[in-house]
Structures are given as structure tokens and as C-alpha cells.
Amino acid sequence: MLDSYLSALGYMASNPFTFLLIIFSVVWGIAFGSIPGLTGIVGVALLIPFTFAFDPIEGLLLLGGVYVGSTFGGSISAILFNTPGSPEAACTALDGYPMARQGQAGKALGIALAASAIGGIFGTVVLMVAAPPLARLALEFGPPEYFALAVLGITAIASIGHGSVLKALMAGLLGLGVATIGIDPLTGMPRFTFGSMMLLTGVGFVPAIIGIFALAEVLQRFGEGPQKGYVIDDVSTELPTISEFIQTRVTLLRSSVIGTVIGALPGVGATTAAFISYSEASRWSKHPEKFGTGVPEGIAAPESANNAAVGGSMIPLLALGIPGSATTAVMIGGLTIHGIIPGPQLMQTNSDLVYSVFIGMMLANLLMLIVGVRMARYFALVLKAPYALVGPAIVVLCMTGVYALQNNVVDLAVMLVFGVVGFAMRRFGFPVASFIIGLVLGPIAELSLRQGLMLSDYDVTAFVTRPIAGTLLLFSAVSLIYGLAGQFLRTRRKLNGDTGPETSEEAKA
């Protein structure tokens, strides 16, 4: 293995052009990630024809760099405009934007950038040292395990946010309900389509989150008129200090592990990783009620997880030839045009390629720290423009990006509807995070539950007797009890008028 790494390093050192390619790809990825609707998949897909002009290693480095950059890029617009550039950054907006509104946009961007790099490096290291065994572990995941994983995320709905538990549950259940619209993946029957052809494909996730975040924000800001409190300043990106880093170390580590494991599971992806990490960060926090108000952990958790998932999703791609995400599925196209078939033999037959990709992804994550600081700064210049121009421009950008996704006006209609839904949810105090967790995890939970029941001959105990599924479900139950008990104790303390250290801090805030 060491020989392979040395050989790959030698190739890259003797070929400085690869560094330029990585820098370009990271910049390209960040740009695509930060524009709503233009996700990393589009960025990778657009570059695939160009990889034909390069050798396979350079081509794959180019695509890998875009993947890394785009996963972080989404957080820039999420933090500065409450407009997630990509689905995996939706969760970052929940705490990133409130932090930016408190005059700490630069800090929020710095946390997102550092967390992305740490998560990305963690995922790549795991990819480098444990790709084959992790890929085999991922194959152990059957429907019960996927269901248990979804339950783990869903059980956090009740503990997210600082408002009513019942409202959080309602929002989560609404999300789960919306996710059922469209053709039933098992029986092929249309559900809640009411005869409309447009609803057969279900509710698109990207139009929905852009509507909920970006459009709802534009409606709110225009409704409230010009206010000084809305001015986001201090946007010079500042990376977290050592002490701030130490404070979030547990969140970073936990989220990176979650991101890598979930990324390695075929068909789940970075968005799910980000939401489950956010849920877990909120659940294990001493101050879960502060999540959603602009806490560093609320940015660090999803950002480290979604970038760790990049490395994770490369594990099944390179070790088994199975794409771990939509972007890696597109990347297979880039490999096949060079006559390379990813799979178990790839590491033996094309070790130079595989190990160069490992090193390239590591470099991409490190370069992202440098490039990201600059790009976030340029992006932030937009904030100096008056909202009378920026607000409508955001609407246009969202409409254009969402339309370009599938050349489909229905997606625009979905975005508008969810803009109103997002606005109403804010107005009546329903947590948006719970709704989106339901929307993301609903399809996974439903399909895996039904498949699992079918495979086990409708024996529910099969879900708890399998080691991985049982452990995850046990963990879900324990953490649910822990979260609810914490919430109960906090409510009781408030009712008793206890002004302990926590409540004093809240009062100050």
C-alpha cells in the first residue's frame, strides 16, 4: 500500500498540472454549490466531457475536486442569504443564517469552512485506510438497518429547537406526509396525486428547500420592510480559534464519523448525513434549545458530516463499483469514458489512479481552506448591495436554478408553494428543521420498513434482533428518552422559576 502511495505522490509531484486542476475544480465546485439549484451534480456533469482531454487520473481528480468544493459551496449562500445553494447545505442555514444576522457572518463562514475541511479530511483518511472493509460493512446494511438509521434521525425531531415539542412533532409528521406524495416505490400506485400528472414524481427536494428557506426569507424581509437589524456585516471570513475548535471537537468527530458511514451507504448521501448529524448534535448538546438560534455546533455538525460523506460515498464507488450518491453515480460516467470500470479489481489493476485520487481529495480539502476564505469574501460583497436589488435577484436566481434542474415549470410551482409553507411555518412557530428532517428521511424510513417487513415475513422482531439495526434502534430509544427527559427537566426548571446558570445565560442572550 505504501508503495502505491509513494508512486501516486511521485506522479503528482512530477505533474504540477494536477495541482492547477485541483484548484480549478475546487473553485468550480464552490461556485456551483453556492448558486441555488446548480448543485454539485450539475458541476460534475458539465465537466465530464472535458475530462476526455485529460488522462484518467487528471479527469478523476477534476471531478473529485468539484465534488469536494460544491459540498462546501452550498453553505456560503445558506449562511449569507438563508438560501442553501445545494441540498446538503440546507441544514447549515438553520444556525448559519441566524449567526450571520447577529453580525457574525464571517465567523459562521469560518466555522463552516473549517468543519467542511475537517470532515472532508476525516472522510478521505477513512477512504485511504479502510475502503474495502467499510464497503463490505455497507453491504451488510439491509432494509432493517436503513430503517433504524432513519428512525435515529427522525427521533431527534422532538428535541430540535426551542419551541413546543408538539409543534416540532407536527412539523416532522407534515414532512413525512409530504414525502409520501407521488408514486409508491413498492407498488407503483399513485398516492395523494389527485389525478395530477405533475405530482406523480413527488415533491422535488431541491425546489422544496429553496422555497422553504430562500423564498420564505424574501417574503419575510420584504414584508417587514427595511430594518437595521437585518444588515449582515463583518463578513470577513475568520477561521475558528483553537479554543473554539476544542469546544466543538466532539461534535466534529461525531459528525465526521456519521458522515463517513452514511456516505458509504449506497443511496443515502450527504444531505441525510447532514441532517442526522445535526439531530445528534442537538440531542447531545447541553443547550439543545439554542439550536436554530445561531450556535457554532449547529454549523459544524452538518458541514463536517456532509463533507465527510464525500469521502464516504467514494468508498463503495472505488471498492465495489456502486455509487454512494447521485454525484458519484455521475462520476462513474467520467470513469467509463476512459474505459475504467470501478469495482473490486480497480484497486489492483489501477492502483495509481485510486491512490492518486485519495491524495488528490486530501489536497482538495486542504486547498478548500485557502480558496474558500477568498471565495466567501467575494460572495459576501453582494451583501453590500441594497436588499431592494438583492432580494428580487435572489428570487430570479432561485427560479432560474430550479427551472434549469429539469427544464420543468412544475418545480417552480413546488418552490412557490413551499415558499408560502416556509413563511407560514415561521409565522406560527413550527420548526423548519423538523419538517425537512421528515421530508429527507421519510422515503428511506417508509421503503426500508416495508421492505424489511416483507423480507422478514412480517416479523417485527427482525428489526431488533439484527445486530446493527438493533443497536441503532436501541441508541435511538436511549437518545429519545434522554432528549425528552432533558426537555422535561428544562420546562420544569422554567416553571419553578429556577435561575440557574443556563437560564441566566439565556436571559443575557
Partner 1 sequence: MRSRIMEMVVVFAILVLAVAMWFVADKFPNSMKYAKIDSDYWPKLVCGALAVVSFLQLLQQAVGLRASLQSASGGTRSSVDPAYVVRLVLIGGLILAYFFALQWLGFVVATMLFLWAASFATPYSNLTAKLLFSPLFTFGLCLFFTRGLSLPLPRGQGIFYDLSLLLY
Among the residue ranges 4-12, 338-346, 361-369, 409-417, the one whose residues contact partner 1 (CB under 8 A): 409-417
> Of 11 and 222, which CB lies nearer to partner 1 in the complex structure?
222
Q: In the set 103, 142, 163, 177, which binds partner 1 (CB under 8 A)?
A: 177
Minimum separation from the CB atom of position 478 to partner 1 (A): 21
Distance CA 424, CA 441 (A): 22
Q: State which of positions 39-68 bind partner 1 (CB under 8 A).
A: 42, 46
Using a CB cutoff of 8 Å and minimum separation of 24, what contacts does 164-169 make? Answer: 164/429, 165/484, 165/487, 167/429, 167/430, 167/431, 168/430, 168/431, 168/434, 169/434
E strand or H helix at 183, and its extent?
Answer: strand 182-183
Nearest to 268 by CA among 75, 97, 138: 138
Distance CA 97, CA 31 (A): 19
The length of the chain, given as a count of residues = 509
Q: Is 162 in the site for partner 1 (CB under 8 A)?
A: no
Q: Is 409 in the site for partner 1 (CB under 8 A)?
A: yes
Among the residue ranges 143-151, 255-263, 365-373, 397-405, the one whose residues contact partner 1 (CB under 8 A): 397-405
Q: Is 180 in the site for partner 1 (CB under 8 A)?
A: yes
| Residue 229 vs residues 100, 232, 234, 508: alpha-carbon distances, Å | 11, 8, 13, 18
Q: Which residues partner with 191 through β-bridges? A: 182
> Of 132 and 429, which CB lies nearer to partner 1 in the complex structure?
429
Distance CA 279, CA 262 (A): 14
Q: Which residue has the cell 428521511?
A: 441
Among the residue ranges 4-12, 52-60, 93-101, 442-450, the one whose residues contact partner 1 (CB under 8 A): 442-450
Minimum separation from the CB atom of position 440 to partner 1 (A): 15
Q: Is 164 in the site for partner 1 (CB under 8 A)?
A: yes
DSSP designation for 343: S
Minimum separation from the CB atom of position 80 to partner 1 (A): 18
Residue 185: φ, ψ to 5°: -65, -20
Minimum separation from the CB atom of position 105 to partner 1 (A): 22
Q: In the set 173, 329, 373, 382, which binds partner 1 (CB under 8 A)?
A: 173
> Of 189 and 381, which CB lies nearer to partner 1 in the complex structure?
189
| Residue 445 vs residues 2, 145, 366, 450: alpha-carbon distances, Å | 41, 10, 35, 9
Size of the site for partner 1 (CB under 8 A): 58
Q: Which residues bind partner 1 (CB under 8 A)?
A: 38, 42, 46, 164, 166-167, 169-170, 173-174, 176-177, 180, 184, 186-187, 189, 191-192, 215, 218-219, 222-226, 386-389, 391-393, 395-397, 399-400, 403-404, 407, 409, 412-413, 416, 419-420, 424, 428-429, 442, 446, 449-450, 453-454, 458
